[in-house]
Amino acid sequence: PYAVYKATADYSMLSKLQHEIGRKDYILADIEYAENVTLKLLTVPEMAEKLEEDLIQWTNANIATEYLGIEILKIDEQTSKVI
């Protein structure tokens, strides 16, 4: 099972977020491009609180996060993509 989050930030934060997420055991499942950029992020439930803390730290609290719940997903171990 994975804890699923939606995180919305300014485009100026996107490259930093992608870089930092890639350094952790978080999965960037999707990116939605609109007025702001919205990321769909996955993590093991035990790391959910840490994910929120990291997002706030990486963006100096310039991010809106929303917990979407727990989902059972199959992840490709080589690409870290949802199958």
- pLDDT tens readout for residues 11-69: 999 999 999 999 998 999 999 999 999 999 999 999 999 999 999 999 999 999 999 99
pLDDT score, position 74: 78
Residue 81 has pLDDT above 80, yes or no: no
Contact 69, 4 (CB under 8 A): yes
Residue 78 has pLDDT above 90, yes or no: no
Residue 79 has pLDDT above 90, yes or no: no
pLDDT score, position 19: 96
Q: If we measure between CA atoms, which residue out of 4, 18, 1 comes closest to residue 74? A: 1
Q: Which residue has the tokens 């929303």?
A: 66
Host H or E run for residue 56? helix 48-58
